[in-house]
A and B are shown apart, each in its own frame.
Chain A
């Protein structure tokens, strides 16, 4: 029930609405609960609302950590 999926903001509409792309599907959602989501940003969508922006820098850092662990393990 707390499932939320990443969507890319394609268009900004009236009343805090936005058109987002979620895995190739376009859907209109509300940006009323997040501050400063702009075109091209990725947001997490839950029940028709963006509940948070995805932090690209932190995502990259997490992936780098996983890559580091995989290298230490010798599996890559």
Chain B
């Protein structure tokens, strides 16, 4: 595939690794984006870089950072008679206060998995007597596409299309993260596709106000290693912001996508798993579109229960690694996920479980022995509660 294959030369990778090895100091960087987390784990970069560079995963998986309360709201939507809930597949198995959307579907709830919000709009067109609610989950990469579909619904007069906007914005979350007392990261590998929409200018506050080196990276292993090289140089010479993924990311981002996003949404406070409520870090429908707000369809919200030992919140902030959670690889596995970081295909725990951890002879590639604590509370793992 053009723009993919030519970025996968093994010679490039070896050269980058050699270059990183030459720096006479160690560093701890955070890859913010879940797609980077998966790319890094899949390419096996973590053990290759250790101990020179430790890569810590951040709060960049939209499913993982969705709070238990918001998942409760989504589940409540699935229980409304004569309503159809349309969602990206990643949300189906996230444990909420009353189980998962998959379980709701098994009980007869009308839950449809869609690839695009455009598909959700067509479901609304084909079912004029039903209310269709789309679960809007995602960062700046996804929000413009959802906004575009809201505008299409307006233009075509499709009144039974509704949206539950759980969209979140990356820069306010990074600001909250760096202001945490325990923050201990030497630089950020910033998301490539969020930045394609948002533009690199959105992050200048990180090096300027907080002295944190930042590189916006592409998703091939060589892109990520190049970003690490640039972060090492900045760590030595002083913080800055650079765009390794220049084939896609412009300083000003994609103005057309941003315009459509801002026409439909306005910033609002949002509740992040692990980070709590961050002012202005979410997107809600502007007043003129409130008739489409799916939250208004819900009469009773299912309240979240306690977290029962899940440490997703700390993992999302880079405070601990997955294997330091007592549930990791014991009670919590991709087959029976306890928390959202193990559910999502881009979740930190799922990535580590699949690629950075082996159970044979206790060998753990990411350097931490898993705790293997079985939690016996008389409930099957898939019925256990979400964490926050």
The smallest C-beta distance from B92 to any residue of chain A, in angstroms, reads 13
In the complex, the answer to whether A52 meets B254 with C-beta atoms within 8 Å is yes
In the complex, the answer to whether B144 meets A33 with C-beta atoms within 8 Å is yes
The smallest C-beta distance from B251 to any residue of chain A, in angstroms, reads 12
In the complex, the answer to whether B246 meets A48 with C-beta atoms within 8 Å is no
Identify which of residues 1-49 in chain B touch chain A, using a CB-to-CB cut-off of 8 Å: 1-4, 6-7, 9, 11-12, 14-16, 18-19, 33-35
Distance in angstroms between the alpha carbons of A4 and B218 in the assembled complex: 11
In the complex, the answer to whether A63 meets B6 with C-beta atoms within 8 Å is yes
Majority secondary structure of chain B interface residues (helix, strand, loop or mixed): helix
In the complex, the answer to whether A2 meets B193 with C-beta atoms within 8 Å is yes
Q: Quick check: which of B133-141, B317-325, B365-373, B379-387 contacts chain A, the rest being far away?
A: B133-141
Q: Does A39 contact B (CB under 8 A)?
A: no
Identify which of residues 3-45 in chain A touch chain B, using a CB-to-CB cut-off of 8 Å: 3-6, 8, 22-23, 30, 32-35, 42, 44
The smallest C-beta distance from B88 to any residue of chain A, in angstroms, reads 7
Q: Quick check: which of B73-81, B116-124, B173-181, B298-306 contacts chain A, the rest being far away?
A: B116-124
The smallest C-beta distance from A18 to any residue of chain B, in angstroms, reads 13
Q: Which residue of chain B has the shortest Cβ distance to A49 in the bound complex? A: B145
In the complex, the answer to whether A34 meets B19 with C-beta atoms within 8 Å is no
Q: Does B62 contact A (CB under 8 A)?
A: yes
Kindly list chain B residues whose C-beta atoms are within 8 Å of the C-beta of A49: 116, 118, 144-145, 148
Kindly list chain B residues whose C-beta atoms are within 8 Å of the C-beta of A52: 196-197, 248-249, 254, 257
In the complex, the answer to whether A46 meets B247 with C-beta atoms within 8 Å is no
Distance in angstroms between the alpha carbons of A32 and B246 in the assembled complex: 22
Q: Which residue of chain B has the shortest Cβ distance to A74 in the bound complex? A: B15
Q: Contacts A1-B138, A55-B247; is A34 near B193 (CB within 8 Å)? A: no
Q: Which residue of chain B has the shortest Cβ distance to A65 in the bound complex? A: B226
Kindly list chain A residues whose C-beta atoms are within 8 Å of the C-beta of B34: 1-2
In the complex, the answer to whether A2 meets B194 with C-beta atoms within 8 Å is yes
Q: Does B241 contact A (CB under 8 A)?
A: no
Interface residues on B, range: 35 or more
In the complex, the answer to whether B88 meets A44 with C-beta atoms within 8 Å is no
Kindly list chain A residues whose C-beta atoms are within 8 Å of the C-beta of B117: 47-48
Identify which of residues 273-290 in chain B touch chain A, using a CB-to-CB cut-off of 8 Å: none
Kindly list chain B residues whose C-beta atoms are within 8 Å of the C-beta of A2: 33-35, 60, 62, 138-139, 141-142, 191-194, 346
Kindly list chain B residues whose C-beta atoms are within 8 Å of the C-beta of A44: 193, 196, 248
Distance in angstroms between the alpha carbons of A41 and B119 in the assembled complex: 25
Q: Which residue of chain A has the shortest Cβ distance to B62 in the bound complex? A: A1
Q: Which residue of chain A has the shortest Cβ distance to B140 in the bound complex? A: A2
In the complex, the answer to whether B254 meets A34 with C-beta atoms within 8 Å is yes
Q: Which residue of chain A has the shortest Cβ distance to B119 in the bound complex? A: A48
In the complex, the answer to whether B256 meets A69 with C-beta atoms within 8 Å is no
In the complex, the answer to whether A33 meets B141 with C-beta atoms within 8 Å is no
The smallest C-beta distance from B238 to any residue of chain A, in angstroms, reads 21
In the complex, the answer to whether B196 meets A51 with C-beta atoms within 8 Å is yes
Kindly list chain A residues whose C-beta atoms are within 8 Å of the C-beta of B118: 30, 48-49
Q: Contacts A6-B3, A72-B15; is A66 near B226 (CB within 8 Å)? A: yes
Q: Contacts A62-B247, A69-B16; is A75 near B11 (CB within 8 Å)? A: yes
In the complex, the answer to whether B247 meets A58 with C-beta atoms within 8 Å is yes
In the complex, the answer to whether A1 meets B88 with C-beta atoms within 8 Å is yes
Q: Which residue of chain B has the shortest Cβ distance to A69 in the bound complex? A: B15
Distance in angstroms between the alpha carbons of A67 and B346 in the assembled complex: 30
Kindly list chain B residues whose C-beta atoms are within 8 Å of the C-beta of A35: 255-256
Q: Contacts A1-B90, A46-B193, A69-B16; is A51 near B145 (CB within 8 Å)? A: yes
Q: Does B63 contact A (CB under 8 A)?
A: yes
In the complex, the answer to whether B3 meets A54 with C-beta atoms within 8 Å is yes
Kindly list chain B residues whose C-beta atoms are within 8 Å of the C-beta of A69: 12, 15-16, 19, 226
Distance in angstroms between the alpha carbons of A59 and B142 in the assembled complex: 23
14 of the cross-chain contacts (CB-CB < 8 Å) are A1-B62, A1-B344, A34-B256, A47-B117, A47-B138, A47-B142, A48-B116, A49-B148, A51-B145, A52-B254, A58-B247, A69-B226, A73-B15, A76-B15
